[in-house]
Amino acid sequence: MTRWPIPDPMRRALELAREAAEDGEVPIGAVVTRYGKVIGEGRNAPRAAHDPTAHAEIAAIRAAAATLGDERLTGCDLHVTLEPCAMCAGAIVHARIARLYYAAPDPKGGAVAHGARVFDHPQCLHRPEVYAGLGEGEAADLLRGFFRERR
């Protein structure tokens, strides 16, 4: 199996995931880029924010939209350490993210390749290109370690 180098935006997403874990949050990080430049980033913070919508993807999308001054993130890429849930997949659709890169699959809560498969529905208004597995080992190790410590 060929192992591809982890791109810089995914490396940053992994750093953000580690920061989330240090704060007791599920270790997920996300970065939005446009033309290769970071325009938004976020990490999981539902516990700290007392907000069930404070997922890494939502934070990164909000930051990118604020940077651009536009709710449409046309031409932007989202790098995230875990397969997005249904809520985050919906936000990706509404933001018009062009490409989604995620590291680890989430068979229980993911909604891109698993579960709801949001982008596959005929009612889906926008379908980003999806690339999985970049940094999968490191992201999966972070998640396993986080949950192992809590059991």
Q: Catalytic amino acids?
A: 57
Residues 129/100, Cβ–Cβ less than 8 Å: yes
The C-alpha R_g of the chain, in whole angstroms, comes to 14
- Which residue in the block uniquely carries the two structure tokens 């240090």? 22
Tokens in use for 66? 């604020």
If we measure between CA atoms, which residue out of 38, 48, 34 comes closest to residue 11?
Answer: 38
Tokens in use for 119? 């982008």
Residues in the chain: 151
Q: Please give the torsion angle defined by the CA atoms of residues 95, 100, 103 and 104, in that order, rounded to the nearest 10 degrees.
A: 70
